[in-house]
Structure 1
Amino acid sequence: MSDTRTTAQGGMETSYGFRHVAEGEKQPLVNDVFHKVAERYDVMNDLMSAGLHRVWKNAMVTWLNPPRRAGWKVLDVAGGTGDIAFRIVEASDRNAHATVLDINGSMLAVGRDRAVKRKLDPYLSFVEANAQELPFEDASFDAYTIAFGIRNVPRIDKALFEAFRVLKPGGRFLCLEFSDVEMPILDKVYEAWSFNAIPQIGKVVAGDGEPYRYLVESIRKFPNQTNFAAMINDAGFERATWRNYSGGIAALHSAWKL
């Protein structure tokens, strides 16, 4: 299969990395990947990004700027291990309530354990559900965040429409995702590192390199910054913009429900 990026018109729903799969086949395959990597997921994020994912996630929460008042609610989608939700709760001085939603029970189990160890569990809820069909009423949340997860959703357009639906008027959408490297030379270095080193590291650290081959390929298929912003606008959001980090290795998209 071609490694060309998908466009604002879609294509990720039948893309399992570089493999073309029938519609409906992608989700079980992705679920299997995350069942395999759950226990080592955050360690592998460090290795895949040379630790930079921590800096990008901190920047995401800083841009979100959660208020230090009770009653403010955020939905963190595909956030099973709690990385973003924990940061948001702490940034709000433990005033915010974060609902962590993930389709993968293994990832959620890791997040629950981590929350208890950090004594953050009173400020968090964990929900196993699909980003394409959120089990919440309209206008339920003040913010919706998703980090390194939306490219694994088969129907990204559905997930974006659901994000818009569950946000309150004036609500904020933030999506951090690996993206299109825009710096000459860096793009070649990053691609060589991704396709050659990461699956091998995954094999050593997690015992299986294939899940990481999928993760690398899915990054290469994901729409570039401009096309993803167009998809966000198509879902009804306004003021869609983005910030590139590390030359575009990651991009943080922001938009509002106005």
Structure 2
Amino acid sequence: MACPSATFTVWASAWLAGAVAPDDVLDALSPWAEAHDVQAADPATASATGLSAPGTPVSSVAFLLAALRRTTPRSPGRLVLPAPGDVRGLPGPGPFSRHATAVGEGVVFGEAGLGLVPTRIAEGVIRWTVHPLPEHGPPPEFVPLAQTERDLREEVRRSASILTSLGVARHRPGVREEIAAALRARPASLWPVGMPAQSLRVLQHADEVEAILGAAAVDEPGGALSASAASARRAALRPIETAVRVARRAAVAEAVRVLVASPLV
């Protein structure tokens, strides 16, 4: 479900709170890539964190966890899912904000003054780049999970109606199979014991809606849309994409809140 940054936000926050073991964090990341390495974005950040500098041998996630423990002993992380025109949750302008927006995800550890961005640099390899933050960023966004579920369902209904009225929501043979295949292709996310059921439900719903979005963005064979119709379709789908990001952020934030409050191991 979700993305590597969501997995790291939940598990690293639970580990910082003493609710899971460090090996659990490493195991949880494995479905996303066979190997994860870590590098500081610049020499100053490398010196401050003890992580590898650009151009030197990379560090491991275990070293990243240790650096977080030194700089922010128990403060949880926060998931960001920026997109052009929707940069909620980001700190001020800077390399982290630009990198996270380009990739579409990241993790903010505000009290540590660090931001993490995962990038797939090769088949089976994800690199976590650690950036210094210019500021802690805005206060965490709070959206009740029940509201995000309602909003997501409403956006799906509204956009489906708009697409139909525009004549760009036609039945395409095999579309259900496309959606099912897209969901099967997602890494099987691992979550800590005690993960709130509501968070899991919202994350699953967000995955399903995202798979539908992918199918809706595909033209029928031999039936490419006109430029105006394609633009209208894009405008109709954009609010759903926003609702998916909001839902995922809210689900992860609630999971972190509950897990951080768990008894220590």
User: TM over 0.5, yes or no?
Assistant: no
Given the two structures, how large is their TM-score scaled by the length of structure 2?
A: 0.26
Higher share in strand: 1
